[in-house]
Amino acid sequence: MSDLFSALRLPIPALPAGMVLLRRRADPAALWPVIQGLAAQSPFRFMTTKRGGTMAAAMTSAGACGWVSDARGYRYESRDPLTGQPWPAMPKAFAALAADAAAEAGFPGFAPDACLVNRYAVRAGMGLHRDGDERDFDQPIVSVSLGLPASFLVGGLDKDDKPQAIGLESGDVLVFGGPARLLYHGIRPVKAGEDPLFGPFRYNLTFRRAR
DNA sequence: AAGTGGCT
DNA sequence: AGAG
């Protein structure tokens, strides 16, 4: 990645202020069985957008509340609408990873109450959006990439701002808070491949303080 | 448009 | 045709 830029003598693009990338900070092998356990309780499902579209990434959640999208809009719910049961509890290993990464990035005391788990099959992506359904924007977002690599797009505070691409690999942890908290971001369609642990999928954990 | 499809 |  950065060797390409040095070989071409191009400036290495800097991350926006408030955004910290911790390469290979998470242990994919330790997280994989935890994700499987969550999915056994609250299965991955394809949610619909308020305008009737279907999201390309399958989702589930863990924690005191989970992110939900349907014809009524976006919100956090204490129960999984699919099972009628509370979402699976936030795994200890998840909470510890999120808190440690946030502290390392300059956001001490991060105690997420929601973890949205996205599963991208090959060719699935996510359009530019911002995480704006949380109560306190002083709390950062912690994003963990697992499985197939992806090109992450970071735009600006305006949706029309031209996004820059950042390559993310399994184990990478991205923290965005402060001035980066409400930046538009998205994921380019995942390229075909096979991860030794996760197979032909990319998983993403996003930790939030929703309430 | 947390979507697609089109354009380069 | 595929990537960005």
Q: CA A33, A37, A38, A42 torsion: positive or negative?
A: positive
Instruction: Output the distance from A10 CA to B2 C1' rounded to whole Å.
Output: 33
CA A136 to chain centre: 18
pLDDT tens-digit map of A91-131: 999 999 999 999 999 999 999 999 999 999 999 999 999 99
Helices A28-41 and A92-104 pack at an angle, to 10 degrees, of 130
What are A130-142's pLDDT values in tens digits?
A: 999 999 999 999 9
pLDDT at A3 over 90: no
Per-residue pLDDT tens over the stretch A37-90: 999 999 999 999 988 999 999 999 999 999 999 999 999 999 999 999 999 999
pLDDT digits (tens, 9 = 90+) for A176-201: 999 999 999 999 999 999 999 999 99
**Cβ-based neighbour number of residue A69 at 10 Å:** 16
B1 C1' to A49 CA distance, Å: 8
Judge whether A172 is annotated as a binding position. Answer: no
- Listed in sequence order, the residues at least 6 apart from A45 whose beta carbon sits closer than 8 Å to its beta carbon are A58, A59, A60, A82
pLDDT at residue A10, rounded to an integer: 59
Classify residue A195 by its DSSP letter: B
pLDDT digits (tens, 9 = 90+) for A11-45: 667 899 999 999 999 999 999 999 999 999 999 99
Max Cα distance, chain A (Å):
55
Strand B nearby residues, CB < 7 A? A 49-56, 67, 69, 74, 116, 126-129, 131, 133, 159, 186
Question: A46 CA, C3 C1': separation in Å?
Answer: 26
Span A148-156, average pLDDT = 97
Residues 118-157 in A having a C-beta less than 7 A from any atom of strand C are 151
Number of H helices, E strands in chain A: 3, 12
Distance of CA A142 to the CA centre of its chain: 7
CA dist., res. A165 & res. A110, Å (int): 27
Domains and CATH numbers, chain A: 3-208 (2.60.120.590)
Q: What b/e sequence results for A70-109 when a residue is b if at least 16 CB atoms lie within 10 Å of its CB, and e otherwise? A: eeeeeebbeebeeeeebbbebbeebbebbbbbbeebebee
Average pLDDT for residues A5-16, to the nearest whole number?
70
More confident residue, A2 or A123: A123
Distance between CA A141 and CA A153 in Å, rounded?
A: 15
Is A129 annotated in some ligand binding site? Answer: yes
pLDDT of residue A158: 93
